[in-house]
């Protein structure tokens, strides 16, 4: 069976997010002043061939720790769609 899995990779909360800060500056220059914080991460969608949802999740977790997320700077969340 084919499973659609979504992985959210975000910068750790303890760390500054310079990309987010830059975007917030851009938004304020555009006159959007009610936005107080911006954090930018990655959203990765995988199509995984597996027999059970649990297996698909495990494959996604393996891929995240091995390649998709850098644990020094990022955390990740896996959702089965």
Position among 14, 34, 72, 81 found at the interface with its own copies (CB under 8 A) = 34
Q: Which two tokens stand for residue 52?
A: 């059970």
Does position 43 interact with its own copies (CB under 8 A)? The reply is yes
How far are the Cα atoms of 15, 29, 33, 37 from residue 42, in angstroms, in the given order?
A: 16, 24, 24, 17
| CB of 10 closer than 8 Å to CB of 71 | no
Does position 35 interact with its own copies (CB under 8 A)? The reply is yes
60 sits in which H/E element: helix 53-63
Position among 14, 47, 72, 81 found at the interface with its own copies (CB under 8 A) = 47
Q: Which residues bind its own copies (CB under 8 A)?
A: 2, 8-10, 20, 23, 26-27, 30, 32, 34-50, 59, 62-63, 66-68
């Amino acid at each position: 069976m084919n499973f659609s899995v979504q992985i959210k990779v975000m910068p750790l909360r303890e760390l500054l997010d310079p990309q987010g800060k830059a975007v917030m500056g851009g938004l304020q220059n555009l006159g959007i002043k009610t936005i107080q914080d911006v954090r930018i991460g990655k959203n990765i969608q995988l199509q995984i061939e597996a027999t059970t949802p649990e297996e698909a999740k495990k494959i996604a977790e393996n891929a995240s720790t091995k390649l998709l997320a850098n644990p020094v700077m990022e955390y990740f969340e896996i959702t089965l769609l």
